[in-house]
């Protein structure tokens, strides 16, 4: 398998989600990712997740989710000897990623201005809630805080429900993905011209993914409303109830709308002035939805999905995670990577891969999530440092 970043070493000083997700994407592209953790607990995600026993072992499910493919070295960066060892790693690394609150690395004497004197070619990526400057720069920023401030919650839900957060940490994930993209782009520069400080704001990264909503306001002066599962630009387009469960239908084009009515046996609605044109359908979307659901109630969702696709209408069932992960589509593309009998876990661990293929193959990191400090002694020896000199707590 191709590994485009196989020549690069990344120092991952990150915690919980945004930063670790960034490092995980780089690992999928072949980078060597060395996770630098504090000896007294490491990444907080080691203690988070749905399995309390794994949390107690510092191998929590939240940690397992985005740290496969990495090595772990335990260093107390407040200790002079450990800091010297860390600087030796920096001198030979290509990338450093951190998601501390702005100012933390400077207080440790390890800010970008210092590290670039050690390694002028270093690509330094700092991921934070609001960026390195501005009035909110030093405010604490968890995913839900950013979702709320970025306008995601204001757009999610219905007028009756009020603002709702997305069902997964979208701001953290987008921040990490943005960091990985920026790092990969920086590494495309020739050696000697690569050194750069990348300042990733989770708030701005999230806003960047909301282009339509942002531009509707900036350009047209129209503020988006909460309309639940409806599509703001087209009708009928959204979630519809069949006999058993929900299905999504996206009849966004005129020909798709007409095909939908033929598929459900309601061609008569084509002559109804409430539904003839796109703007009319938007104004009467809920009346149209009720008429469509009246016909959908006669058969289960799976039946209608097959019928609609046959008629050229985009449609799909609304699946939960167990259903989609067990689907032939996901299984046959090799999206899940599995590790047998992972140390510190004692059983198989399955994790998500990157969501793309290179030359027909899904990327694999090939290494299970590490125990805290698992590779400390070996990495220090590789860099010519005596582990005993810094009180290494490594496990190898």
Largest CA distance in the chain: 83
Question: Residue 279: is it exposed, middle or buried by C-beta count within 10 angstroms (0-12/13-18/19+)?
Answer: exposed
pLDDT over 70 (residue 392): no
pLDDT tens per residue across span 238-267: 999 999 999 999 999 999 999 999 999 999
What integer best gives the mean pLDDT of the chain? 95
| DSSP string for residues in 141-177 | --HHHHHHHHTHHHHSSBTTT-----SS-HHHHHHHH
Q: Which two tokens stand for residue 150?
A: 């970025």
CATH class of domain segment(s) 9-209+332-390: alpha beta
pLDDT digit string, tens, across residues 347-391: 999 999 999 999 999 999 999 999 999 999 999 999 999 888 786
What confidence score (pLDDT) does residue 386 get? Answer: 86
Give residue-wise pLDDT tens across range 204-223.
999 999 999 999 999 999 99
pLDDT tens across 15-57, in order? 999 999 999 999 999 999 999 999 999 999 999 999 999 999 9
What integer pLDDT is reported at residue 341 of this predicted model?
Answer: 87
Residue ranges per domain, the chain? 9-209+332-390, 237-241+246-317
Model confidence at 112, pLDDT cuts 50, 70, 90, reads very high
Q: How far is CA 104 from its chain centroid?
A: 24
pLDDT greater than 70 at residue 396: no
Burial degree of 283 (CB within 10 A; 0-12, 13-18, 19+): middle
pLDDT of residue 303: 98
**Residue 389's pLDDT is what?**
79
Q: Which active-site residues does the annotation give?
A: 172
Fold entry, domain 237-241+246-317: formyl-coa transferase, domain 3 (3.30.1540)
Assigned token pair, 260: 């939908």
- CA dist 373 and 394 (Å) reads 5
User: What's the confidence (pLDDT) of residue 196?
Assistant: 97
């Amino acid at each position: 398998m191709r590994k485009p970043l196989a020549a690069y070493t990344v120092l991952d000083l990150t915690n919980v989600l945004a930063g670790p997700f960034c490092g995980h994407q780089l690992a999928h592209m072949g980078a060597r990712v060395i996770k630098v953790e504090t000896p007294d607990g490491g990444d907080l995600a080691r203690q988070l997740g749905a399995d309390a026993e794994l949390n107690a072992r510092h191998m929590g499910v939240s940690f397992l989710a985005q740290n496969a493919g990495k090595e772990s070295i335990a260093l107390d960066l407040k200790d002079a000897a450990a800091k010297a060892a860390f600087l030796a790693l920096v001198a030979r690394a290509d990338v450093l990623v951190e998601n501390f609150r702005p100012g933390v690395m400077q207080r440790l004497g390890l800010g970008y201005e210092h590290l670039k004197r050690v390694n002028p070619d270093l690509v330094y990526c700092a991921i934070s809630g609001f960026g390195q400057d501005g009035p909110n720069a030093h405010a604490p920023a968890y995913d839900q805080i950013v979702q709320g401030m970025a306008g995601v919650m204001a757009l999610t839900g219905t007028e009756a429900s009020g603002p709702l957060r997305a069902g997964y940490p979208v701001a953290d994930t987008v921040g990490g993905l943005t960091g990985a993209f920026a790092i990969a782009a920086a590494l495309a520069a020739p050696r000697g011209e690569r050194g750069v400080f990348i300042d990733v704001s989770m708030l701005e990264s999230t806003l960047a993914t909301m282009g339509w909503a942002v531009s509707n306001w900036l350009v047209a002066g129209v503020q988006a409303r909460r309309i639940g599962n409806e599509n703001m630009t087209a009708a009928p387009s959204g979630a519809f109830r069949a006999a058993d469960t929900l299905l999504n239908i996206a009849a966004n084009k005129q020909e798709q709308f007409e095909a939908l009515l033929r598929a459900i046996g309601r061609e008569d609605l084509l002559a109804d002035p409430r539904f003839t044109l796109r703007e009319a359908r938007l104004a009467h979307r809920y009346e149209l939805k009720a008429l469509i659901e009246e016909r959908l109630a006669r058969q289960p969702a799976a039946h209608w999905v097959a019928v609609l696709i046959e008629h050229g209408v985009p449609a799909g069932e609304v699946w939960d995670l167990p259903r989609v992960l067990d689907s032939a589509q996901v299984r046959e593309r090799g999206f899940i990577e599995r590790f047998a009998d992972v140390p510190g876990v004692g059983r198989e661990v399955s994790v998500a891969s990157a969501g793309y293929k290179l030359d027909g193959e899904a990327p694999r990191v090939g290494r299970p999530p590490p125990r805290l400090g698992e590779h400390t002694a070996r990495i220090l020896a590789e860099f010519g440092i005596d582990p005993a000199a810094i009180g290494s707590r490594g496990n190898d």
